[in-house]
Amino acid sequence: MLLKRSLLISGAAIGALCAVAIPSWASSHREAPGTTEQPKIDGTDFYMFKSYEPGRDQFVTFIANYQPLQDPYGGPNYFTMDPDALYEIHIDSDGDAVEDLTFQFDFDNRLVNDTGVTLNIAGKDIPIALRAAGPVGAPEDGTLGENEYYSLTLVSGDRRSGTRDAIKNASDGSTEFVKPLDNVGNKTIADYPAYASQFVYDVTIPNCAVNGRVFVGQRAEAFAVNLGEIFDLVNLVPIEGDSAPGAGDGGGFPGGITQDRANDDLVGKANVTSLAIEVPVDCLVGSGNGVIGAWTTASLPQANIEDPLPTYAQTSLYGGAYVQQSRLSAPLVNEVVIGLPQKDLFNAAEPTQDSALADYVTNPTLPAILDLLFRDAVNQTLGTSIDNLAPTNIPRDDLVAAFLTGIPTLNQQATITPSEMMRLNTGIAPTPRAQQSTFGVAGDDLAGFPNGRRPGDDTVDIALRVVMGALCYPVPINGTPTDLGFCTSDDAPVGNVPFTDGAPISATELKNAFPYLNDPIAGSPNN
């Protein structure tokens, strides 16, 4: 007990926060060898939450982000989607870990007149090297030589053999939508927010009495992480250095990192491509208990033959059945939980197959790595003699609940099938943006993690605390501190410590309306 008291290195507010930390996971950027070879189908983040835009509380918003670490100046082609791939968001409404609904995005890139913009050079019409030849302000603007389109299909039942119905533009009944040009800069697109707003479509969804909305386009990265230092053997002291986040008083762990936007390697520096859809709750819940599970995937045809004479329309010949290449719901699992030999296998697996990789959850390596890196430093700093910083309750039933089954009375489905899905209790009202806690349920905010995920939830800090044993201490369920019974404080000597990477995020930094993520960072001027 003396050792544990020594680690209660902050004031009462921090101690309370640590004691109620709730499970969640962070982002996925280049997390598996296979996806590093195909960045267009690399899923980076998946958000699922009750819409908190005023007047939209009977909707659920899904945001699937792809193509990590987009440099804003990454021209001249920028970041189009893969027209050979299928991008999908899967919904399990009854808890059997099998998709009941799938929202399927299929892209098509086209050159205007099969050439793009041309200029007459000494009597010859020559295609230019750029996507645009002048200012762009509207969909399919005449200055654009290349446009990116997509269709959206609702699949009921199995994603490949189920019933397929087109999702249509509510204004004209069309089945094809346009994706905006990425944020090249303010000479090409003078007012990017106004330009991008034209690509938010009201849509009619089969079997839904109320219209939904869809937007596909580049957005600013919203995942806050001290990325470089984290993957350099955690080259920081990952414990809060202040008495409370942002206090600036140095009253926390000696030498611990403090919250600072300068610690963030992504927010304000990189873009992603978002596939965002807002769906009425009544169209999602089915006959279950109102808790839905969801995940996102990207798939490519099985066969790929490189074309020795490539054209714009075809650089490779694809054929055969679609094979899943990327999968995402709780993505930090593949980044720092799943071992190197099975990372690509995890990306290819469906939730019903997750038991094959369960050892990575029941016997996790990340806490052991943190122990190896920091045990001596912690003991030296505090004058303690902790034998092992990692939780000792093996198998880690606390992580099984967080990762595979959901939390009882919060977001556990009526049928419990251990599987890696993000789970959302649609019966819990959304929290207005200004009142959201970055720690979700841990901050007495039941509409946040682990009850889905919102863009303003600080997933890295929560993930660090959970893997180090936060669930071995009481957590708030419906506002009441509750012993979940998975383990005890004796199993987790540092489970009540405020682990952090020092990179903050808040919902107030993001939009209060669909599609919620901020407009992308411009490539010019002087990015």
Q: Is the pLDDT of residue 69 over 90?
A: no
Residue pair 334/357 in contact by the 8 Å Cβ criterion: no
Average pLDDT over residues 152-161: 97
Between 333 and 16, whose confidence is greater?
333
Q: Is the pLDDT of residue 231 over 50?
A: yes
Residue pair 100/157 in contact by the 8 Å Cβ criterion: yes
Q: What is the pLDDT of residue 331?
A: 56
DSSP alpha helix (H) spans, 146-245: 192-197, 227-231
Q: What is the pLDDT of residue 32?
A: 62
Q: Which token pair is 243?
A: 């008495």
Q: What is the pLDDT of residue 280?
A: 98
Q: Is the pLDDT of residue 6 over 50?
A: no
Q: Is the pLDDT of residue 12 over 90?
A: no
Best CA proximity match to 26, nearest among 468, 508, 455: 455
Per residue in 98-148, pLDDT (tens digit) is: 999 999 999 999 999 999 999 999 999 999 999 999 999 999 999 999 999
Phi, psi of 120 (to 5 degrees): -85, 110
Q: In whole angstroms, what is the distance from residue 126 CA to residue 440 CA?
A: 55
Per residue in 404-458, pLDDT (tens digit) is: 888 888 899 999 998 889 999 999 999 999 999 998 877 788 899 888 999 999 9
Q: Is the pLDDT of residue 242 over 70?
A: yes
Q: What is the pLDDT of residue 14?
A: 29
45-59, 337-351, 469-483: which has the minimum mean pLDDT?
337-351
Q: Which token pair is 40?
A: 């267009």
Phi, psi of 499 (to 5 degrees): -65, 145
Between 350 and 480, whose confidence is greater?
350
Report which secondary-structure segment, H or E, holds 376.
helix 366-382
Q: What is the pLDDT of residue 35?
A: 67
Q: What is the pLDDT of residue 121?
A: 95
**pTM of this structure:** 0.90
Average pLDDT over residues 146-160: 97
> Can you name the residues that pair with 240 across neighbouring β-strands?
257
Q: 33 falls in which pLDDT band (50, 70, 90)? A: low
Q: Is the pLDDT of residue 65 over 50?
A: yes
Mean of per-residue pLDDT scores for the chain: 87
Q: What is the pLDDT of residue 493?
A: 93
Average pLDDT over residues 507-511: 96
Per residue in 279-320, pLDDT (tens digit) is: 999 999 987 799 999 999 999 999 989 888 888 888 888 889
Per residue in 345-385, pLDDT (tens digit) is: 777 778 888 777 788 888 999 999 999 998 988 888 888 88
Best CA proximity match to 186, nearest among 135, 128, 130: 135
Q: Is the pLDDT of residue 16 over 70?
A: no
